[in-house]
Amino acid sequence: MAVSIKSAREIQLMREAGKILCEVHNQLEDFVKPGISTLEIDQYGEKLIRKYNCIPSFLNYEGYPASICVSVNDEVVHGIPTKQRILKDGDIVSLDAGVIYEGYHSDAARTHLIGKCSLEAQRLVEVTKQSFFEGIKYAKEGNRLFDISNAIADYVESYGYGIVQDLVGHGVGRKLHEDPQIPNYRQSRRGMRLKAGMTLAIEPMINAGGYEVVWLDDDWTVVTEDGSLSAHYENTVLITEGEPEILSLVE
């Protein structure tokens, strides 16, 4: 497993890619509301990405047909936007996006509450986001990769939620998916040593019910097997000798 260490120049480009992606997500957050279609979200997101002179990382990636993955309620990830799917009050919607800036990718996801959601939905979304922050407490040089995984897993399991196992986080940089793979569930080993200059997409995918997921016939959309709600939160993170730098989350 060859994990790339980014140079100062590459880090600067990834910082820019992350900042742009953060801006795209902030504008998408303001855009999502009851009555809009998942296709409109994709079209607006693509327009924003291109406005910043970036390329949508996901468009045509292994044949994926859109720029933004839009996953509603029991859809875990990789939902395909359509004009028929209209957001309604009480839905939760996960938006996953990536941008390429000067040849470097950033990758991030947020889950939004649409209108007035159940307390159960609110809690799932909050715990999923917080699990990312629990994980990155360990994201620094000298610690090990699965310290991150285990911190996420311990936190999520304390709420009794299901942790998706069939999809994992990953290195990110010149390619959208680089080594290493980053599970969100408990590992018995501590994994490889983290080094300054690694750039990682850490992305817990958490189900209100069981951890099991299935793929729909479109070959993309992943849904919970038991029909329970699912949330996703992701950022591109730079490992340093001290605190991690969350490249896709900036003021």
Q: Which is nearer to ligand MF3, 62 or 217 (CB)?
A: 62
Smallest distance, Å, CB 146 to ligand MF3?
18
Smallest distance, Å, CB 156 to ligand MF3?
18
Q: Which of 54, 201, 222, 231 binds Co ion (CB under 5 A)?
A: 201
- DSSP assignment, residue 64? -
Q: What number of residues does the chain have?
A: 251
Smallest distance, Å, CB 41 to ligand MF3?
14
61 binds, among Co ion, ligand MF3, none (CB under 5 to 8 A by kind): ligand MF3
DSSP 137-206: TT-STTSBHHHHHHHHHHHHHTTTPEEP-SS-EEE-SSSSSEEEEE-SS--SS--SBP-TT-EEEE--EE
Q: Which residues make up the interface to ligand MF3 (CB under 6 A)? A: 58, 61-62, 64, 69, 78, 96, 107, 109, 170, 201, 203, 234
Task: Pick the stretch among 17-25, 58-66, 125-133, 197-205 that binds Co ion (CB under 5 A).
Answer: 197-205
Q: Which is nearer to Co ion, 228 or 236 (CB)?
A: 236
Smallest distance, Å, CB 17 to ligand MF3?
14
107 touches Co ion (CB under 5 A): yes
CA angle 237, 100, 230 (to 5 degrees): 55
Smallest distance, Å, CB 160 to ligand MF3?
25
78 binds, among Co ion, ligand MF3, none (CB under 5 to 8 A by kind): ligand MF3
Task: Give which of 227, 206, 207, 224 is closest to 215, Cα–Cα.
Answer: 224
Task: Give which of 10, 54, 20 is closest to 199, Cα–Cα.
Answer: 10
Q: Which is nearer to ligand MF3, 17 or 69 (CB)?
A: 69
Which residues lie below 8 Å from residue 45, measured CB to CB, with a gap of 6+? 24, 28, 56, 67, 68, 95, 97
* Amino acid identity, position 213: V
Token reading at 192: 């490889």
Q: Which is nearer to ligand MF3, 109 or 239 (CB)?
A: 109
Q: Which long-range contacts (CB under 8 A, 24 or more apart) does 126-130 make?
A: 127/155, 127/156, 127/159, 127/161, 127/206, 127/231, 128/156, 128/204, 128/205, 128/206, 128/231, 128/232, 128/233, 129/231, 129/233, 130/155
Task: Pick the stretch among 1-9, 85-93, 107-115, 223-231 that binds Co ion (CB under 5 A).
Answer: 107-115
Q: Which is nearer to ligand MF3, 118 or 223 (CB)?
A: 223
Smallest distance, Å, CB 158 to ligand MF3?
25
Smallest distance, Å, CB 203 to Co ion?
5
42 touches Co ion (CB under 5 A): no
Chain residues in the site for Co ion (CB under 5 A): 107, 201, 203
